[in-house]
Structure 1
């Protein structure tokens, strides 16, 4: 029988539930248990695909083309497993399914209500993950904060699961903030107490509490939390600030959290295999050579908008024993007079980030031109490939006014245009070219040498492509088409006689893992460091 670990959050959002859920998953997997993770998002959107990154961070894409919450990226990176569409449950998905069943007559004669119909659907979706993933343990992270009205049906559903499962088959872990007051040097537990009271008010008693704080919590603070939450001090753990999120599993291991959790689940504890993870964390913290990498995008004010790219840089840097210094550059800032030289000079490498729409495009084009003309290692991702083609067409081929039809539908030289299948699309959500797609690499190219094989699969999320009508012109001027799809779409480009100028239509960051970094990021970082 599958065991369930339910992770809830209190006091405020972004308290670190995703990192905690992923860390627990890693620690259980390191003990030999097949572990899966589910993210429950209480918003009404069916998926995260239509959200502005400023609203919810990056949209993470799975192999099967699901557009999901960024926490699924945490799960994949920590557990080194592939998530799927069923690993992200949203209120939109749940209500959509319930209404569909009602229209199909599956509730004939009944008044369809939150309880039992919506809560039954939630429980069914959670249990389906256990069945599909054949997991020993499923970790369920409930998004949002306890007290949010949106979360109530999901909390009610897992409360019911506690009644329906055997005694040791479900454990509740509550992650909540303990504020540290610098002025007095005190840890304040009152907000955490109130969040647990709210949980208990709706019928859930946490079995384990993880206190999120700037500094480690002491034994007295644990006793105080225990007194007001009915959780014994030995089941209260400290998740304090560390230099990298990848260290969180190690600090939880040091406090014996997995052993205590397994005892609650009535499962055997065994010594974990964590040597590779420890070595990886040490490599991140002790890089030998500093490399300054500029990330140019339109959502850089919220770093989580490009979370997987940032992590892919750290993965590759750890392998190469580098210390990356990431410089966030808002692409609109590069559109100001004299800004390009001021902001890009001294960088060891430039990444032009994914995005949609016209805002910030001119700044990205300037960054690409600077990298191309100054022999600065360049990596373009998705829009970063399309705009590299636009810049090359304008400034090398001399096609004045060349553009993507996404920005300028009336461009005289549409070097980037809408995919044929997208011309028939009428709905926005979930209709892009999504998920893992085959890329055929050309022998002798940088891409082929980095991957070491002729066929690879990378995840995609786009509507536009390099216009096939211009491919011959681009190649005759020195652009190398180093990767194509099965039906001939341009997937990767390179430039001759450049230290490293590679762009991809795919999103290789989504498949980068701490112990298996993306080959493209490894190649880019090598070039940036002069290795």
Structure 2
């Protein structure tokens, strides 16, 4: 039977609940326990799949095809535990399920209310898979006091009372602001935040306090007294040079010990932190630097490419180099030559995206990398733009384009090198889609296998000819142009098992030019860098010696 840790936030948002949850999960693993982390989000979207990256950052995709909050990426990167569809839920998904049950008559004519029907649905979700792990860590999105979050807070309050004493723990993350004029850390916002929690029946067992300055013992005692927690359960969370220092930093502050003490686990197993000591060493002790340009359309919000940035860092750690990422707006190339903006970079990465905006700029970036022999990694749309570029400039299909945006622009005549995928095989069954389907959850989502061409660059990188990667897209490269493109130097080095869907392309006689239809960044971890990112950064490192 799992022990449950509920992580809540107060005072302000964006304090790092997801990172604190992930770091705690890693520390519990280091002590020999099994963990699972999940996220409960109060927004009314069924999932973040239809949300703009400017609204919510990237959408993290699980093996089983769930579109989830980016915090699940933190969970996977820190614990290595593959997230599932059952690890992410929103108010929209809860209410949708409740209303579906009401329409079917499952409630036998009863009046449907937030309590008990919505809260029961949340509690049922929390309990899924509880027999599989030692600890279940559940992060509640938003901030205490938000009206939309009240059903979740009420649900975890009920859940803790229905369970055996000592089976649930509440950890509250708050802010201790520093007033320079008086030279003081102020505890009052935290006191009010805890009071808000207590007013809805939840008493935190552990306080994690974000602070830019050391917390004096006097303030710790004050927080313990007024917030009704033990002094050793007031945990400082300071700003860090790298998020991958978090497990060691939280261990030093005693977070994992405070959790075990609260659950009455004694004697506690000693942690084995060698993995995180090595990760921290690789982050801070590097032997060089590479500059990589990410040519994208959502560069104003770096969280839109969160997993890509982290995967590049993992690749740098594997190669003992610091990866300096520069964000380059793809739309600039619609008006200007790409060369002045891309010269001097050791590698170029073009990520995924949706819609027409910035696509011609991405095509120019792929052309620049191909012609100048600069290492190039195209992901999802980045692969499709590389194929269109090769079709136009190598195979002579000057009007090559994509159904995704060319028809939107009113272009009547173009060669659809990239088309809307209407049918594919998922596992043992066939999936069908049309352009008029709802947008949410209708893409090719989740893990799919691919076969790699023996002797190809990607087969060398992976060290195998069979892989499985996560997808999130509606459009595919048309296989009918494969022969013509391969004659002109663009090799289709990875295909779906049935040979119908291109998964990977690479340019012949190029130091490192690979495009992938899937999202390899979603499976990269600091202690296990993804092979593509590891080798991409290696290629950038080799190129840096030539520039």
Q: Flag whether TM exceeds 0.5 (same fold).
A: yes
- 2:519 paired with 1:520: no
- 2:113 paired with 1:116: no
Instruction: Map residues 370-449 of structure 1 onto 2, 5 A cutoff.
Output: 370-409=368-407, 410-421=412-423, 422-423=433-434, 426-449=437-460
Q: Deviations over 1:455-509 (max 9, x none)?
A: 0000000111111121111111011111001232110001112111001001001
What is the aligned partner in structure 1 of residue 480 from structure 2? 469
Q: What is the count of residue pairs matched by the alignment?
A: 528
- 2:168 paired with 1:170: yes
Instruction: Map residues 11-410 of structure 1 onto 2, 5 A cutoff.
Output: 11-131=11-131, 134-182=132-180, 184-268=182-266, 269-338=268-337, 340-409=338-407, 410=412
User: Do the aligned partners of 1:435 and 1:461 also contact (CA within 8 Å) in 2?
Assistant: yes
- In structure 2, C-alpha distance between the alignment counterparts of 1:394 and 1:246, rounded to whole Å: 43
What is the aligned partner in structure 1 of residue 503 from structure 2? 491
Q: Deviations over 1:164-212 (max 9, x none)?
A: 1122110000001222344554322222222111111111111100001
User: Do the aligned partners of 2:247 and 2:276 also contact (CA within 8 Å) in 1?
Assistant: no
- In structure 2, C-alpha distance between the alignment counterparts of 1:405 and 1:214, rounded to whole Å: 50
Residues 181 and 364 of structure 1: CA distance in aligned 2, closer, same or farther (over 3 Å): farther
SS in 2 for 1:530: helix
How far apart are 1:53 and its partner, in Å? 0.7
User: Do the aligned partners of 1:87 and 1:129 also contact (CA within 8 Å) in 2?
Assistant: no
- In structure 2, C-alpha distance between the alignment counterparts of 1:218 and 1:449, rounded to whole Å: 54
- In structure 2, C-alpha distance between the alignment counterparts of 1:100 and 1:138, rounded to whole Å: 28
Residues 288 and 184 of structure 1: CA distance in aligned 2, closer, same or farther (over 3 Å): farther
- In structure 1, C-alpha distance between the alignment counterparts of 2:36 and 2:134, rounded to whole Å: 8
Which structure 2 residue ranges, 5 or more long, are not aligned? 424-432
**Greater mean deviation of Cα atoms: 306-315 or 410-419:** 410-419
- When normalised by structure 1's length, the TM-score is 0.97
- In structure 2, C-alpha distance between the alignment counterparts of 1:228 and 1:331, rounded to whole Å: 52
Residues 184 and 322 of structure 1: CA distance in aligned 2, closer, same or farther (over 3 Å): farther
User: Do the aligned partners of 1:43 and 1:90 also contact (CA within 8 Å) in 2?
Assistant: yes
- In structure 1, C-alpha distance between the alignment counterparts of 2:212 and 2:342, rounded to whole Å: 34
- When normalised by structure 2's length, the TM-score is 0.94
RMSD: 1.4
Residues 385 and 171 of structure 1: CA distance in aligned 2, closer, same or farther (over 3 Å): same
What is the aligned partner in structure 1 of residue 427 from structure 2? none
How far apart are 1:44 and its partner, in Å? 1.2
SS in 1 for 2:331: helix
- In structure 2, C-alpha distance between the alignment counterparts of 1:355 and 1:68, rounded to whole Å: 17
